[in-house]
Amino acid sequence: MTLMRAVDAIVLILEKEGATQAFGVPGAAINPLYSAMKNHGGIGHVLARHVEGASHMAEGYSRAGAGNIGVCIGTSGPGGTDMITGMYSASADSVPILCITGQATVPMLSKEEFQGVDIASVAAPVTKMAVTVLEAAQIPGTFAKAFQLMRTGRRGPVLIDLPMDVRIDFDIDCYEPLPVAVPTMSRAQADRVLDMLDAAERPLLIAGGGVINADAADDLVALAEYLDVPVVSTLMGWGAIPDDHRLAQGMVGIQTSQRYANATFLESDLVIGLGNRWAARHTGNLDVYREGRRFVHVDIEPTQIGRVLAPDLWSVSDAGAALRVLLRAAEERYSGPLERYGSWVEACNERKRTLLRKTHFDDVPLKPQRVYEEMCRAFGPETRYVTTIGLSQIAAAQMLHVFRPRHWVNAGQAGPLGWTIPAAIGACVADPGTPVVALSGDYDFQFLIEELAVAAHFRIPYVHVVVNNAYLGLIRQSQRNFDMDYQVQLSFENINSPETEGYGVDYVKVAEGLGCKAIRVRKPEDLVPAFKRARETADELKVPVVVECVLERVTNVSMGAALDSVNE
């Protein structure tokens, strides 16, 4: 063993565990770790402008690649509390990120030291583990347990809080990552699923986020093709099957959904949920959702079973493991790929061809539907979309297309405003060879807009589409229930930028002031040329290019309380 600073041991552990990309903001209490990273040289680091931004960058990094674990680093006190939203967002969507904070020295922990806060207690509700390490010898074991937890069962974030006054004896050659248990559907359970399938006439598979997290998109498609069963997705499962696949039948939900997907779901008689959690924005009214159909639920997290609805059959299993067991059981039960559901599949595809929402509007100011239509035309199937919340997210999920897993990067459950810019940066760092297109409403774009400077600083190119209606659009739409339009307008006369024509913030000037390029679009015919020019400029200059699309002030987006009563 070698006597070394604990921070030097930590860097060696990060390297061995494969967590070699960090995002953070240094400070006095965490500077020892930064000195260890500098000396080691093998841990990448992106300097954020806000620690919340760093946490969302780590999320974007983890979400963009199978097996990725982004690292978020901050100092004591507000450095840790600023990470909380990122931990919540990661926890809500089962995303592993490792958050590391500095802390006061051990003797000062109970003395209300400057920037001293019990961050482990603050973070505990939104992490799989949150711990302040008090004994130096516990550091290797704590990190080993953290990585095991992040990779086991339902993935999620971990916080490790480090008083920086410790040295340990450590040998990296004697450190080994802990094993990860993978719960697997039993053959008996698989046979029961197939029994239910044999009794069904109109079955559906639901691809949830667990399919993406298990890196099991190919397994999903293989099973769907062998059984010839249509697939619908949840918001987090989008991309598990290409949108143009004959068995892909869209996204079901009361907001982020397609008309044809909801209609197909309501015609089904058996629903096999894989790695999904029956979220409220997916199910809507449960009586409508459940009536006339049987349910199978497969999820890696035991406490999810029965939480929202009581399934007719369930299995606690990794989604990928379940898909593989089901396929083997099907291959042994049937003489070859099934053909019995051909008329059902054709009926689904007829709905897919006909039950579409109108997108081609020539209005000026722009209608948002036209923006998404032209995005589909300008950006190819290789595009990775990043977005978070609002009417922009809902309409995008209704009208864009995704063709590959992890090409829809979205804060599905938490939906924190400001998430999109830093998450896009993290996704670009994780996979610089895949073009990223971020999408924000104007309010989301304002929340952490300073992080654009990070992408300009580190030469991280991507395209950011901002649909600007100078409104908190989703909140305005929900306020109709209260017969009000109160404190949701972002419009004002900008005395420095009259060219914004009453829309308030000049996003072109702000983006350029932060080191990026920007284009403003007002007419439908200018959208595709602007999108293409933005992509070319980003690739050439290696900075983000913002495309501001000036929308009509008020557009209501399709949504409702139940799958059979979505207001179109």
Quick one: which of 128, 98, 68 has its CA closest to 303?
128
Among residues 475, 488, 541, 566, the one annotated as catalytic is 475
Q: Rounded CA gap, 468 and 452, in Å? A: 17
The yes-or-no answer on residue 25 being catalytic is yes
The yes-or-no answer on residue 168 being catalytic is no
Q: Name the token pair of 165.
A: 């006054």
Please give the biggest Cα pair distance in the chain. 74
The yes-or-no answer on residue 51 being catalytic is yes
> If you ran DSSP here, which 8-state letter would residue 30 be given?
T
Contact present, 205 and 224 (Cβ < 8 Å): yes
The yes-or-no answer on residue 514 being catalytic is no
The yes-or-no answer on residue 194 being catalytic is no
Q: Rounded CA gap, 99 and 547, in Å? A: 33
Cis peptide bond prior to 365, omega within 30° of 0: yes
Contact present, 491 and 502 (Cβ < 8 Å): yes
The contacts of residue 107 (CB under 8 Å, 6+ apart) are none
Q: Regarding beta strands 167-170 and 2-5, do their DSSP bridges make them parallel or antiparallel, or are they unpaired?
A: antiparallel
Contact present, 424 and 438 (Cβ < 8 Å): yes
443, 462, 517, 549 from 491: Cα distances, Å: 11, 27, 23, 15
> If you ran DSSP here, which 8-state letter would residue 251 be given?
E
- Amino acid present at 365: P
Among residues 327, 417, 466, 547, the one annotated as catalytic is 417
Helices 319-333 and 187-198: angle between axes, nearest 10 degrees: 60
The C-alpha angle with vertex 349 and arms to 348 and 353, in degrees rounded to 5, equals 125
| Residue in this structure with the two tokens 């990122």, named with its chain if needed | 86
Q: State the DSSP string of 386-445.
A: EE-SSHHHHHHHHH----STT-EEE--SS--TT-HHHHHHHHHHH-TTS-EEEEEEHHHH
The contacts of residue 212 (CB under 8 Å, 6+ apart) are 236, 237, 239, 240, 275, 405, 406
> If you ran DSSP here, which 8-state letter would residue 231 be given?
E
Quick one: which of 348, 328, 326 has its CA closest to 273?
326
Among residues 51, 131, 139, 551, the one annotated as catalytic is 51
| Residue in this structure with the two tokens 């093709």, named with its chain if needed | 225
The contacts of residue 61 (CB under 8 Å, 6+ apart) are 21, 23, 68, 70, 426, 427, 429, 430
Among residues 162, 472, 514, 546, the one annotated as catalytic is 472
Q: Which residues are catalytic?
A: 25, 51, 417, 472, 475
